[in-house]
Amino acid sequence: MVKVAVVGGGSLGVKIIGELAYHGHEVRVYDRSPESLDKVRLRIQEDKRLLTEDGVLMSPTFLGEVYYMSRLEDAVKSVDFVFEAVPEDLALKQDLFEWVSQSCKADTVIASNSMNLSIDDIVERAACKERCLVVRFLFPVYCIPEVEIVPGKNTSLQTLEKVRNFLSRMGKVAFFRSGKDPLVLSPEERELKKMEFIRNLQEHKGSLLKIKRNVPNLSDKTLLSKGVDLDSDHEYSTREKDCVVCMDEERNCVLHPCHHICTCTTCGRLLLKRQDACPICRKHIASIFRVFHS
């Protein structure tokens, strides 16, 4: 069991809370409004009922406990992850990250669910920026395995690995945002994903861990099957997915700290060993991070 905090009691926060608790995590919910906390409790109960009726949840109970707190310090002080789900207001998020980073453990990962704001701007006043990043759950949260990751310029490799492992144990798949725009599914695509999830869940008798998870291929232009529509001139188009060093293997290696995906893992390790710079931006390579494509 992992202790997590969700800050924000809006509709997205409710979905994240339920998904985390469903997978057995202890969830601490913070909202400054007691009335909002009461609404969160009721909406989670309603979500359980509707998801059970739809066949998304095989049981109307969650494995993890949910605690509702009106003091931010109490919610975040001893958790392993903090997921921020407040409105898209830069000043609000900056204040929140500054306060949370000073109130939680030194190794707590602090994640924003922002769609369009820069994580580097959000963490401008935060302490320990290396543990901060965007972790964006896609809607409907219960049915979509893909989780969008946007690291900041200071995000550490250890933070990325910690997030990847955490999501993997929930049957989720982390992938890096491709381009500037967030991945957004249409209502038709959401419904298709939901039906596919329910079908797989029924075939595997309710075991989420037995369902095969594929990382969305960010070079593929088929939005319906892969979940993203890229511009034809994007860096990771289908014509430009080969390693820029060997021109043979697929790009599957993130160079840290610049976060460019331009080499295969073998060439990335070679560049790191030789202390060469990133082929794209010529910045120093401190470490590499393997990513997977379907």
Run of H or E residues at 111: strand 109-112
Each of the 294 residues of the chain gets a pLDDT tens digit; together they read 899 999 998 888 898 998 899 888 999 999 988 888 899 989 888 888 887 887 777 666 667 899 999 899 999 999 999 999 999 999 999 999 999 999 999 999 999 999 999 999 999 999 999 999 999 998 888 888 889 999 999 999 899 989 988 998 888 888 887 667 887 888 888 888 888 888 887 776 555 544 444 444 333 333 323 333 333 333 334 435 788 887 778 888 888 888 788 888 988 888 888 888 888 777 888 888 887 654
Nearest to 4 by CA among 79, 100, 90, 110: 79
Three-class SS state of 244:
coil
Distance between CA atoms of 276 and 160, rounded to whole angstroms? 22
- For 138-290, where are the E strands, in sequence order? 146-151, 173-176, 253-256, 260-263, 287-290
pTM comes to: 0.72
> Which residue from 44, 29, 39 is spatially nearest to 76, judged by alpha carbons?
29
Q: Is the peptide bond before 257 cis (omega within 30 degrees of 0)?
A: yes
* List of domains in the chain: 3-189 (3.40.50.720), 242-290 (3.30.40.10)
CA atoms within 13 A on the CB side of 282: 0
Over residues 26-68, the pLDDT tens digits come to: 999 999 888 888 999 898 888 888 878 877 776 666 678 999 9
